[in-house]
Amino acid sequence: MNETLSLSAFWTLFAPSIAAALVAAAVCGVLGFFVVLRRVAFVSAALGQISGLGVATGFLLGTVFGLDPHEHTPVYLDPVMLAIVLSAGTSLLLASVSRVQRASPESTVAFAYITASALAIIVLASPKIVQESHEVTDLLFGSTVAVRREHLVELGVVAAVVLASQFFLFKDFLFVSFDPEMARTLGLPVRRLDMVLNLSVGVAVTVATRAVGALPVFGFLVLPAGAALLAFQSVRVVLIVSVLGAMFAAGFGFYLSAAFDWPTGPMMVVVAAAYWPIAALFRLAGGRQRA
Amino acid sequence: MELIRLEHAEIGYVKPLLAPLDLSISRGDRLAVLGPNGGGKSTLLRSLLGLVPLLSGRRVLPQGKPPRLGYVPQAHRADPLYPLTALQVVLQGRYGLVGVGRSPSKADRAAAVTQLGKVGLSEQADKPFRSLSGGQRQRVLLARALCGEPELLVLDEFTSDLDPAASAGLLAEVSGLAQGSGVSVMFVTHEISAAAAHASTVALVDSRRGVFESGPMAQVLTGERLSRLYGQKVQVERRDGRTVVFVESGDAT
């Protein structure tokens, strides 16, 4: 262990990266509540692939239009912008398809994941952009320990919007997730609410992935919320535990990674994964009946 | 006062299930929808609610807006993941009145508590919805439907998972609650006796035989029509103000 790594030194060294990881974890902790309840846990993985497709397509289009990928590109050909638009569009599409009879959420997400993966590989195999693959990876998965300032700002803005929408619409999101038919009979705009929620997930996952990486975002989205739902019976408690659990996994995972010189993203996921057996034990002990 | 009307409506998902039909519900009506399994009863109900678009014809809202609806679906398969209490589920019935983006007030919460009490589940208020028995869950959903102060209460075979005694008791409760508050009720049921006991009008629906008839209970609920509907001989007798139904095995002819 690196015994000289005090908490203050740890913060000084990695402040922007720690802040990005904590913000990404908080947003994913809230959104994960709905992702797990709606049984679309792999939506994060699918959106990661779709972001990849967007970035790769952006580079390919740039070469088609004779642009240097290292120079400033018009916004409509910016790989990151294409990734966000494609992820947001797919999220909206998933919201529509999920209401189609006989289309299960799992198979719809799997369809998006497989198709985007295949297309991204095909686009990346193009000889025109093969030398840019490291750029694509950097844009896609960011670097957990070296977060760029602009990524942190982007993440902060997206987090503020997502958390504000959750603050005002949480009860409505929960209702349309639990019983969309009843919600429609009461006149709630079910489709629009679904779209807002899915759009939140799509944009948040894309931006958070760029800032801290795909694996931790997937972990923050699924593991704390899943464990909290396993252990507790109250919406409020589940939500608080999910958010705090994700943030703790981000902070403690980061610290362990820095202290032991282990990979950062995987360490965060390992900490979050530890919640599951704890939650299962808590449930077996009857704690769920009380909380 | 008329609340909602289907005019020359073709109902179904891809192909029409029945010839174009007309159906109207007015304030105070208690409409029972009867018919064999898979005959289109639930599709008719969902079309009337606007959950399934009409293939042709019109869904007319004489008040210029949909009536306030209270909907109780067929035995609700409570998703065991959702950590909602019985009271939180009932409170959802107020969300149409509360509005999107707003929090329920103390009055909304009080209304939910009152409705839960009316269906006899006050003590279950903080219990997880998913841990309740089938009958208790249906009562919670009934309380939720009533909590929104509906003008039209729509019940889709909501007692199908209950034993006959519980089913009859719950239907009687609904009838009493509805009559007490002047709410119109539309209910899909397989229990002809229940329809006779609680309905003022009856609709007979069977897409396979192309049957759709509706009208006053005494006029529609006859042995001849029910025999045609179910393809089995059905006798209807009225004794001491009660309607007794006998279904005989074998073909109606």
Residue A264: the pLDDT is: 87
* pLDDT at residue number A1: 47
Tell me whether residue B38 is in a domain: yes
pLDDT for residue A135: 64
Helix (H, G, I), strand (E, B) or coil at B205: strand
Mean pLDDT check: name the lowest of A111-125, B38-52, B166-180: B166-180
Distance of CA B58 to CAs A43, B61, B154, Å? 39, 9, 20
Q: Which residue of A has its CA nearest to B48?
A: A185
More confident residue, A65 or A259: A259
Task: Say if residue B101 is in the same domain as residue B49.
Answer: no
Residue A286 resides in a domain? no
pLDDT computed for residue A143 by the predictor: 61
The answer to whether residues B183 and B197 belong to one domain is yes
Number of domains forming the structure of chain A: 1
The answer to the question of residue B33 being in a domain is yes
- B92 and A175 within 8 Å at the Cβ level: the answer is yes
| CATH number of the domain to which B53 belongs | 3.40.50.300
Do B170 and B62 fall within a single domain?
yes
DSSP three-state, residue B82: coil
Domain membership of residue B239 (yes or no) is no
Cβ within 8 Å, pair B100-A193: yes
Per the model's pLDDT, the better-predicted residue between A147 and B215 turns out to be B215
Type of residue at B191: E
User: How open is the CA angle A176-B67-B193, to the nearest 5 degrees?
Assistant: 95
Minimum distance, in Å, between the CA of residue A69 and any CA atom of chain B: 43
Chain B interface, best mutation among A39, A178, A196, A197, by max B CB count within 10 A: A178
In chain B, how many domains are there?
2
Confidence band (pLDDT; 50, 70, 90) for A136?
low
DSSP B66: P
- Domain enclosing residue B47, as ranges: 1-67+151-220
Q: Does A3 have pLDDT greater than 60?
A: no
Nearest CA in chain B to A239: B83
Q: What was the pLDDT predicted at B248?
A: 75
Distance from CA of B64 to the nearest CA of A (A): 14
Instruction: Measure the CA–CA gap between B51 and A56, rounded to whole angstroms.
Output: 41
Helices (H), chain A: 7-37, 43-64, 79-97, 105-124, 133-141, 149-178, 180-185, 190-212, 214-231, 235-260, 264-273, 275-284, 287-290
Q: Which residue has the higher pLDDT, A288 or B180?
A: B180
Domain of residue A216 covers 7-281
Q: Name the domain boundary from B148, B177, B210.
A: B148
Q: What is the pLDDT of residue A146?
A: 67
pLDDT at A98 over 70: no
pTM above 0.90, yes or no: no
Burial class (CB in 10 A: 0-12, 13-18, 19+), B46: buried
A84-90 average pLDDT score: 85
At residue B32, does pLDDT exceed 60?
yes
Q: Among A8-22, A218-232, B176-190, which range has the highest average pLDDT?
A: A218-232
The backbone torsions φ and ψ at residue A179, rounded to the nearest 5 degrees and listed phi first, read -150, 80
Beta bridge partners of B239: B242
- Interchain contact, B84 vs A235, CB within 8 Å: yes
Q: What amino acid occupies position A86?
A: L
Residues of chain B with C-beta less than 8 angstroms from the C-beta of A36: 81
* In a domain? residue A84: yes
> Which of A20-24, A47-51, A252-256, B241-245 is predicted with the least confidence, judged by mean pLDDT?
B241-245
Q: Do B132 and B189 lie in a common domain? A: no
For residue A288, is it within any domain? no
CA distance A234 to chain B (A): 5
- The per-residue pLDDT for A112 is 85
**Nearest-5° angle of CA A127, CA A130, CA A134?**
175
CB B83 within 8 Å of CB A238:
yes
Same domain, yes or no: B210 and B100: no
Pick among B59, B76, B95 to test the A interface (most A CBs inside 10 A): B95
What mean pLDDT do residues B235-251 have? 75
Which of the pair, B249 or B9, is modelled with greater confidence?
A: B9
Residue B73 is assigned to a structural domain of this protein? no
Task: Summarize pLDDT for A261-285 with one digit per residue, the tens.
Answer: 888 889 999 999 999 999 999 888 8
Report CB contact under 8 Å: B144, A175: no
pLDDT band at A168 (very low <50, low <70, confident <90, very high): very high
CA-to-CA separations, B4 to A6, A59, B27, B241, in angstroms, rounded? 71, 56, 9, 30
A273 in a domain, yes or no?
A: yes
Indicate if the pLDDT at residue A173 is higher than 80.
Answer: yes
The amino acid present at A124, given as its one-letter code, is L
Asked, for residue B249, whether it belongs to a domain, the answer is no
Most trustworthy range by pLDDT among A121-125, B149-153, B231-235: B149-153
* Model confidence pLDDT, tens digit, residues B181-220: 778 999 998 888 888 888 889 999 998 888 898 889 888 8
- pLDDT, chain A, mean: 84
| Element at B34 (helix H, strand E) | strand B30-34
CA distance, residue B90 to nearest chain A CA (Å): 11
Q: What is the pLDDT of residue A5?
A: 63
Q: B86 and B194: one domain?
A: no
For residue B66, what is the nearest residue in chain A, using CA coordinates? A187
Q: Give A286's contacts in chain B (Cβ within 8 Å).
A: none
Which structure tokens are listed for B161?
A: 């998972």
In this complex, how many residue pairs, one in chain A and one in chain B, have their CB atoms less than 8 Å apart? 67
Q: How deeply is B110 buried, as exposed, middle or buried, from its count of CB atoms within 10 A (0-12, 13-18, 19+)?
A: exposed
How is the beta sheet containing B152-156 ordered, strand by strand?
B69-72, B152-156, B184-188, B30-34, B201-206, B211-216
List the single range of A34-48, A185-199, A271-285, B161-175 with lowest mean pLDDT: B161-175
Q: Indicate if the pLDDT at residue A4 is higher than 70.
A: no
**Chain A nearest CA to B101, separation (Å):** 5
pLDDT of residue A244: 97
Is the ipTM of this structure higher than 0.90? no
The token pair at A280 is: 């299962």
Average pLDDT over every residue of B105-115: 95
Residue B159 banded pLDDT, cuts 50, 70, 90: confident
Q: Which residue type, as a one-letter code, is found at position B125? A: A
In this prediction, residue B179 carries a pLDDT of 74
